[in-house]
Structure 1
Amino acid sequence: MADIRRRGVAVLGVTGLVAPLTLALGTAPAQAASCTTQTGPYQKQVEKFLGRPVDGRQSSGDCQAIQAFQKKHGITPTIGYAGPVTWGVMDLMTRQRAVGSNPNKDGKCPVNKGRIACVNLTLQLSWIQDGKKLVYGPVPVRTGRNGYETRTGAKKIYWRHIDHVSTIYDVPMPYSQFFGGGQAFHSVGLSMWNPPGSHGCVNMTTTTAKKYWSLLKTGDDVFVYGRKPGT
């Protein structure tokens, strides 16, 4: 948690450090950072996602492509193995893309509140809407890992601090907008798909966090719903 000090009052907060997908790592070959020759349980799915020849057999080219994806998104071990974590991230990306420009198709984020920031934990997506009008997004986000879940329900932004720093983890939380029990929107310098997840905050890219900062203000509504995979 992060301590927030305002007018002499200490408020406990939760800061997000890492990313969004908490899935069991499973049993991977015990090899160093070099490419593995072993075929993973999600080989075909991963090959298809990466645009590789889909034959279900690990090749040097497959391993290098998988390894590059793992390094980009902070998935460990980075040995090019097509395991459950790697495929889980790819599957989430696919489902996020399928949403398109209609993130509130299910109508679960309230449309009678005026401007509101919505967070879909299941798809790890967030957006800002005004009534039924989409104002910004949807964008990928990282929410709380298992044991540090981002709390669901209707909330309001109660404090904003553009240069906030966590006093527990001693890490920067730029463009922080706190909306519930110390949990906040803020930017991080990691991939939005870097497992396992935050310590409760809704992590964003710097571009997204800046946009949220410009569009939202203290007192604006936030609605969080769904359940993050792996929690």
Structure 2
Amino acid sequence: MPSTTRALLALATAAVMGVGLTGCDGSAAANPTTAATPTATHTPTFSPAVTPTLTPTSARTPTPAPLVLARGDRGVKVRELQARLRRAKVYALRVSGVYGAATERAVAAFQRAHDLPATGSVDVRTWALLRRLTPQPTRAELYPPAATGSARLDPRCRTGRVICISKSARRLYWVVDGEIRMSMSVRFGSAYQPTRNGEFRVYRKSRDHVSSLYHTPMPYAMFFSGGQAIHYSAGFARQGYAGTSHGCVNTRDRGKTAALFDTVRIGDKVVIYR
């Protein structure tokens, strides 16, 4: 048989047999791909997993202790609270029987000092602890006498919220609607740097102020006229009236000054008179 005929016959035979004629490494030629009869395979049937249903247990929220007193209350029990807070050294204002912002802050301070929730309201736990730590207030503590010098208040001090300052008495009075709530001694500037007389308004408060002119501390500064302010003075506390201020109104009772600072609001009136 001629060689050409034999080659054509070989090609036809290869096509019929499905033999691959190309491959990267010749493996296709050595392993002809024969149509395989698929073997029936068993596909396992899976039952869906049952997810257990968990019934959530509600978290137990602590029940707040019942309130005994809160802001807005008035009366004898508030007087007792304020007198006891004074004994605990967290309240410096006069006992008034009115549960206001200053009383609320004092209660919160007491609560923080004794690891209680600092709500500012008196619950049964706060009241029980305060009564245990402080003695029963006397009648004089519950009904303190009016501050001395009240008859000398300037008429401008008898309405609203006023820091009333008498130079002749060397006293500062915190007055609310004509009632003196706090009183403390003060000193003033010299003849060369006088403290201005008149009616002013608190326009700025700075708890840890330092003078930009003299670089000295002016804690609890309440500015009322330019650079003049009411503030605590360590020098006044040490030296008394032997010295003067640079025009400011100095106080020497740090606790009362801090309480006044926390009570006074921007816009409260300041009256300074002879």
What's the TM-score, normalizing by structure 2? 0.44
Alignment partners' CA distance in 1, 2:235 and 2:263: 23
Pick closer, same or farther for the CA change 1:151–1:135 going to 2, 3 Å: same
Pick closer, same or farther for the CA change 1:168–1:107 going to 2, 3 Å: closer
* SS of residue paired to 1:105: helix
- Indicate the structure (1 or 2) with the bigger Cα radius of gyration: 2
Q: Cα distance, 1:111 vs. partner?
A: 4.0
Are 2:249 and 1:202 aligned?
A: yes
Cα shift readout 1:16-50 (whole Å, capped 9, x = no counterpart):
xxxxxxxxxxxxxxxxxxxxxxxxxxxxxxxxxxx
* SS of residue paired to 2:261: helix
Q: Which structure 2 residues correspond to residues 63-102 of structure 1 after superposition, within 5 A? A: 101-102=147-148
Alignment partners' CA distance in 1, 2:191 and 2:264: 28
Paired residues, number? 127
Alignment partners' CA distance in 1, 2:151 and 2:260: 21
Q: Which structure 2 residues correspond to residues 7-22 of structure 1 after superposition, within 5 A? A: none
RMSD of aligned alpha carbons:
1.9
* SS of residue paired to 1:210: helix
Higher mean displacement: 104-113 or 146-155: 104-113
Q: Which structure 2 residues correspond to residues 137-176 of structure 1 after superposition, within 5 A? A: 137=183, 139-176=184-221
Instruction: Report sequence identity in percent.
Output: 29
Pick closer, same or farther for the CA change 1:147–1:110 going to 2, 3 Å: same
Alignment partners' CA distance in 2, 1:102 and 1:189: 25
Structure-2 residue corresponding to 1:122: 168
- Asked whether the equivalents of residues 126 and 140 of structure 1 are also in contact (C-alpha less than 8 Å), the reply is yes
* SS of residue paired to 2:235: coil
- Asked whether the equivalents of residues 233 and 250 of structure 2 are also in contact (C-alpha less than 8 Å), the reply is yes
Cα shift readout 1:57-101 (whole Å, capped 9, x = no counterpart):
xxxxxxxxxxxxxxxxxxxxxxxxxxxxxxxxxxxxxxxxxxx72
Give 5+ residue unaligned stretches, structure 2: 1-145
Alignment partners' CA distance in 2, 1:142 and 1:109: 22
Alignment partners' CA distance in 2, 1:183 and 1:191: 16
Structure-1 residue corresponding to 2:262: 214
Q: Cα distance, 1:204 vs. partner?
A: 1.0
Pick closer, same or farther for the CA change 1:109–1:172 going to 2, 3 Å: farther
Q: Cα distance, 1:147 vs. partner?
A: 1.0
Structure-1 residue corresponding to 2:227: 182
Alignment partners' CA distance in 2, 1:186 and 1:109: 24
Alignment partners' CA distance in 1, 2:177 and 2:149: 13
- Asked whether the equivalents of residues 172 and 185 of structure 2 are also in contact (C-alpha less than 8 Å), the reply is yes
- Asked whether the equivalents of residues 113 and 221 of structure 1 are also in contact (C-alpha less than 8 Å), the reply is no
Give 5+ residue unaligned stretches, structure 1: 1-99, 227-231
Alignment partners' CA distance in 2, 1:119 and 1:188: 16
Higher RCO by CA contacts (8 Å cutoff, separation 6 or greater)? 1
